[in-house]
Amino acid sequence: MSKKLIQIEEIQSIVSRCSEINKLDLSEIIWTENGNELHIDSKIIEAFEYTGLSNMDFITSGYYKK
């Protein structure tokens, strides 16, 4: 297996962006996928806000698809 080059600045940038996303009010985010706006029912967003998970988790867990 060959070694892979990873720049520390890249990691710092990714973490910074994730932090920015997680600080936003979930109900005020306009989510898009492949350039198309996703219309997520407000009841799904409201229910998720009580999970204690982050905005990133909202997407990565697939919760937004409910």
Are 45 and 26 in contact by the 8 Å Cβ rule? The answer is yes
The partner residues of 36 in beta bridges, in order of sequence, read 33
DSSP per-residue codes, 1-64: -------HHHHHHHHHHHHHHHHS-GGG---EETTEE----HHHHHHHTTS---HHHHHHT-GG
Characterize the bridge pairing of strands 36-37 and 32-33: antiparallel
- Write down the pTM of the prediction: 0.86
Q: Domain extents for the chain?
A: 27-66
**pLDDT per residue as tens digits for the range 31-48:** 999 999 999 999 999 999
Are 58 and 48 in contact by the 8 Å Cβ rule? The answer is yes
Band of residue 52 on the pLDDT scale cut at 50, 70, 90: very high
